Homo-oligomer: A and B are copies of this chain.
Amino acid sequence: MLDEIAAKPNAWNHRHLLDVDDFSPEEFQLVFETADAMREILARPIKKVPALRGQTVVNLFYENSTRTRASFEIAAKNLSAEVLNVTSTASSIAKGESLIDTLKTLEALGANIIVMRHNLSGAPHVAAKYSKASIINAGDGWHAHPTQALLDLYTIRKHKGNLNGLKAAIIGDVRHSRVAHSNIWGMTRLGMKVTVCGPPTLLPYGLDNPGGLFPEVRVETDVEKAVEDADVVMALRLQRERQQSGLLPSVAEYVRRFQVSQERLKRAKSEVLVMHPGPVNEDIELAAESAYGDKSVINEQVQNGVAVRMAVLYLLAGKQGEL
């Protein structure tokens, strides 16, 4: 399979990975097949291939994230890239250095790919305009998190084969969730039927408006109805600051009305996949027994994340290296 992937004509058209909103179904397919090949590498005793040898991948994180940074770092090292971690706490970014200046510097230092997390929506798009290095958006504000969507879709595909026609319920703070936004783009593009559910204050305005971005998305405020007959139930992390900012009257009320519980999951299909981008607030947005139960694929999401990120790095690097 590795040979096949390396030999395939390149359907990949992106110099950067900013979101999945402009992905064709063929591009999704290419990422999935490349990730399949990367999983073969991950199954070996020594998980290292020379594909990106001599290339430098920079993790430029303006927000902390154990999971995403570690996942990219491991993925890049598995491909033999050099990894440089630059975080806002451990660097002089605090000195008031401009984003563009930082990017120019990283390029001049030899960065080939810059994995960037930023608290401001759109920052990676600005970066991409000025950067000769490839930018991967590892999460920007409330906007997008494309590699998370790709690994979620890949995880669903591993279990269900074809995504077309599957029903997904995304439950929680959809309004502020870059994970939800990128998943909605990907799921709808690949033919899935998406229902979002949460308190009205945490749902985007006009999501299912006929003239809106996602006319095909169903909005539901009753969680029992939302999960009905679902193939996938994705719970979103509830940020405590939503309560402080007055968008959420109480956590107890949220739990009562929207928690994804074992009881509520009975309404979904019997083979439902329970997903969460992590880290889980146990027994808040997701019951602990559901998070660790037999329908949960949360750990697989993390595992697949490494394979999907290896695939993305490999494709952005032009597939020129040896696998």
Contacts and interface: CB of A to CB of B under 8 A. Distances in A.
A95 to B, nearest CB: 7
Among A42, A102, A105, A300, chain B packs the most CB atoms within 10 A around the CB of A105
A242 interface: no
Given A92-B65, A279-B92, A42 B87 contact: no
A98 B279 contact: yes
Contacts of A104: 299, 302
A92 B89 CA distance: 12
A116 to B, nearest CB: 14
Interface string A222-240: 0000000000000000001
Contacts of A249: none
A275 B105 CA distance: 14
Interface string A37-57: 000001011111000011010
Nearest to A303: B108
Given A90-B64, A302-B108, A306-B109, A47 B54 contact: yes
Interface string A87-107: 101111111111001101111
A105 B67 contact: yes
Interface residues of A, number: 54
A86 B109 contact: no
A56 B82 contact: no
A90 B91 contact: no
Nearest to A299: B108
A105 B278 contact: yes
A23 B98 CA distance: 35
Contact of A89 (B46, B48, B89, B98): B89
A289 interface: no
Interface in A74-132: 74, 77, 82, 84, 86-87, 89-98, 101-102, 104-110
B98 A282 contact: yes
Nearest to A107: B299
B280 A102 contact: no
A207 to B, nearest CB: 27
A91 B66 contact: yes
Interface string A275-288: 00011111000000
Contacts of A259: none
A90 B92 contact: no
A73 interface: yes
A213 interface: no
A164 to B, nearest CB: 28
Contacts of A90: 64, 87, 89-90
Given A82-B74, A279-B97, A54 B48 contact: yes
A104 to B, nearest CB: 6
A251 interface: no
B77 A82 contact: yes
Given A46-B54, A53-B46, A54-B46, A109 B279 contact: no
A278 B96 CA distance: 12
7 contacts: A66-B97, A70-B109, A89-B89, A95-B279, A101-B279, A101-B280, A109-B302
